Amino acid sequence: EMLADYFKAVSYSRSTLQYSPPGDSKQVYAYLVMADSYIGLCNFSKVVECLDKALNMSHEHTDPMMETQILSTMGKVFLALKDFPKALLFQRRALEMVSSNSALATEHHRNENSKFVRITKLKIATPLRLMGDFVSATKCVEESMQVASSLGDRPVQAKCLVCIGDIQRSQNNNEVACKKYEAAIQMLQDMNDRYSYTLAMIGLVKALLALNTQQNTYFALLLKFVACQLLIVSNAITITYDENVKLYLVYHMYVLDDIYFICCL
């Protein structure tokens, strides 16, 4: 799933369901991975089906992280559907649940809960940004970034940089946004997080376009889209720089409509 190969993620999840004992907690997490993957494939009927099964099975176990992750995935669904208030509601419920669990968690689960708090705060920032509440969005990211930096959590740090870049770009601070994206890109490339890497690349290109620098935009589009190594969607971008010059660029993109949704935000 992290590699954005959603068909393989679904296949492995189905194998987990097939070979694990009935009622095993692994099956709940398999359904969650399938739900996340179907969001990427934009098959929302399957998303609801997987989440319903995961929720029903989670009641049979005492692992509170299951329900928390289900709530977080529901937030992701509504974000893809561009229902930002509902996306925010589910992410906040997930944060409330994991925060209450942190107080009661054993030493073994404390680190896991702490990381999920950081990630959920980061997820809350996105609908806040898209609803125009940049102050609250920035506060969420900064809190997550501060804890991640103190613990050396590079994956969350990189995602925070991308999110900060998005917030700055939404406020037309495109030069600052470019610096944040560029700082995140190398980290994400080293970690082989293709999904977040792609989002950072897309954000960088958007920021460069907004800066209205013809030369930088031209080379960025040629180099960055090739570097993304995305699968072909057979779309074309037409960008007009002046009355006589047009650039036609056929670009590659994952066959994932969730990335398309995010590109359009």
pLDDT of residue 194: 81
Q: Which residues pair with 251 in a beta bridge?
A: 235
pLDDT of residue 237: 38
Place of tokens 């609803």: 131
From first CA to last CA, the distance across the chain in angstroms is 22
pLDDT of residue 243: 38
Least Cα distance to 120 among 169, 163, 149, 82 occurs for 163
Q: Which residues pair with 239 in a beta bridge?
A: 247
CA–CA gap between residue 235 and residue 240 (Å, rounded) = 17
pLDDT of residue 17: 82
Higher pLDDT, 241 or 49: 49
Higher pLDDT, 258 or 141: 141
Least confident of 1-10, 14-23, 110-119, 193-202: 1-10
pLDDT 10s digits, 148-184: 888 888 999 999 999 999 999 999 999 999 999 999 9
Least Cα distance to 95 among 63, 130, 121, 113 occurs for 121
Higher pLDDT, 249 or 144: 144
pLDDT 10s digits, 219-264: 666 566 555 544 333 343 333 334 333 333 333 333 333 333 333 3
Q: Is the pLDDT of residue 265 over 70?
A: no
pLDDT of residue 99: 82
Least Cα distance to 169 among 181, 177, 161 occurs for 177
Q: Are 34 and 46 in contact (CB under 8 A)?
A: yes
Where exactly are the structural domains of the chain?
1-62
**Strands of the chain, DSSP E:** 232-240, 246-252
Place of tokens 């560029």: 182
pLDDT 10s digits, 83-131: 999 999 999 999 988 887 766 555 656 677 788 888 899 999 999 999 9
Structure tokens at 164: 């900060």
| Collapsed DSSP state (helix, strand, coil) of residue 265 | coil
AA letter at 187: M
pLDDT 10s digits, 50-67: 888 888 787 776 677 788
The CA-based diameter of the chain, rounded to the nearest angstrom, is: 66
